[in-house]
A and B are shown apart, each in its own frame.
Chain A
């Protein structure tokens, strides 16, 4: 029995990835129509919800603010309405977590980060962008080249709805080509600085340049 379980476990490790894919295929339609959240109990299906802070304040359109400052000519503090008034970009792209799970074909929309950087007029000395969460703890950063990519969004909507609290709403980042820990949730502050600083998980061992399939010792298919 003991050895049998160990053998079962080893076999599971060998084929578990395929089994999980199969389970996910079956449960994906269920998940979309599940009002109870019970499908979240199924291993390997959908989003996991990670939070590093003990509690995260709930912000709404009434009190949400995004501060953009640092090495810029026109620092601003934007409300949710002001962000919604900017040109919106939509894309349908996967979300890949560095712990292995992936959610296919997520609908995202929001303001391109590069449009926001144009609006505040970054100075030539700005080499990197630091993002801080209003959870008070989480932060991470991108180089200015990475931040200027067209597949980096200040997301206002995901999964065909405003970004929910659990997913980092009302405003989060979505960095399509990088692992999920680069897509900071509960985005509260963007600061332009002269060099990249390791973020919260990066200080705990994850790669600062988090390209999907080319970092953290993983070979996932790029998004």
Chain B
């Protein structure tokens, strides 16, 4: 496993992945704040300025997919990463990080099924029966151990960086952005395009329901982040402790992950000493 510029740390997120995260989070924040003003009567009357709030909501919503698209365009594909790692690793100008991370998030394997079963079905039931988290996380039960069919060295070099919950969340956010865009455009241009009322009403309803869904999903995302300072440091600084990576993401293939190589190219230890590492 590659080591970070500082002792015991490893590069988890490249610059463009972190900027995609920041920009998307900011735009979602603006969308949710303006949505609350548009939708909740108490805030509508408190803040007013409906035309302005509508405009801000529209444009921040239209901009939502742009960070991810830019991140995608400005990074190398995982295949190029592989070539880079075989010979040209120090030549690439862009980080290659976001495309690799997106590919990781999009790869669901058998291990993810085990993880989900363990954490969403049997796990909560066991915890309900007063078994502690420690026995769960200690890896003595199913799911924490590499399950049959889990990615191994010979099978896949991608897929272990994120757990299945993170993959589901990412897919949920990506799908929701698509739904928000589609229904939002129907609502906005429905009259000009002579879309029948019932579909415009349906689009409004879907937009509202998905807004609740994404709101609670983001609350859960923030709640999970609030409980793991190392995970937060990973997104803030790009680096996580090696022991954390081993414990949380044992199958993360750090050898082919471009982000773990990045640090030797662009970041030097003295540049980063000012950053809190937690």
Give the contacts of B43-96 with A (CB-CB under 8 A): 44-45, 47-51
Of all chain A residues, which has the CB nearest B180? A9
Known pairs A9-B178, A100-B204, A219-B197 / 9 extra A-B pairs, C-beta < 8 Å? A5-B175, A9-B210, A12-B205, A13-B202, A14-B202, A16-B204, A135-B48, A216-B191, A217-B192
Determine the chain A residues whose CB is within 8 A of the CB of B200 once the complex forms. 100
Q: A52-B51, A56-B45, A220-B197 are in contact. Are A13 and B203 (CB under 8 A)?
A: yes
Is A2 close to B, CB under 8 A?
yes
Q: Are A100 and B197 in contact (CB under 8 A)?
A: yes
Q: Are B208 and A44 in contact (CB under 8 A)?
A: yes
Interface residues of A (CB under 8 A from B): 1-6, 8-10, 12-17, 19-20, 37, 40-41, 43-44, 47-56, 99-101, 135, 165-166, 204, 216-220
Most buried by A among B41, B178, B191: B41
Determine the chain A residues whose CB is within 8 A of the CB of B192 once the complex forms. 217
Determine which of B44, B47, B178 lies in contact with A5 in the assembled complex, contact meaning CB atoms within 8 Å: B178
Determine the chain A residues whose CB is within 8 A of the CB of B202 once the complex forms. 12-17, 19-20
Of all chain A residues, which has the CB nearest B190? A217
Is B26 close to A, CB under 8 A?
no
Determine the chain A residues whose CB is within 8 A of the CB of B190 once the complex forms. 217
- A132 to chain B minimum Cβ distance, whole angstroms, is 16
- B105 to chain A minimum Cβ distance, whole angstroms, is 10
Q: Are B42 and A37 in contact (CB under 8 A)?
A: yes
Determine the chain B residues whose CB is within 8 A of the CB of A50 once the complex forms. 44, 50
Is B142 close to A, CB under 8 A?
no
Cα A220 to Cα B200 in complex, Å, equals 12
22 A–B contacts from the bound complex (CB under 8 Å)? A5-B175, A9-B182, A12-B183, A12-B205, A16-B202, A17-B198, A17-B202, A20-B204, A37-B41, A37-B42, A40-B41, A41-B40, A51-B49, A52-B51, A53-B48, A53-B49, A56-B48, A100-B204, A101-B204, A135-B48, A217-B194, A219-B196
Q: Are A49 and B179 in contact (CB under 8 A)?
A: no
Determine the chain A residues whose CB is within 8 A of the CB of B197 once the complex forms. 17, 100, 218-220
Q: Are B50 and A51 in contact (CB under 8 A)?
A: yes
Determine the chain A residues whose CB is within 8 A of the CB of B47 once the complex forms. 54
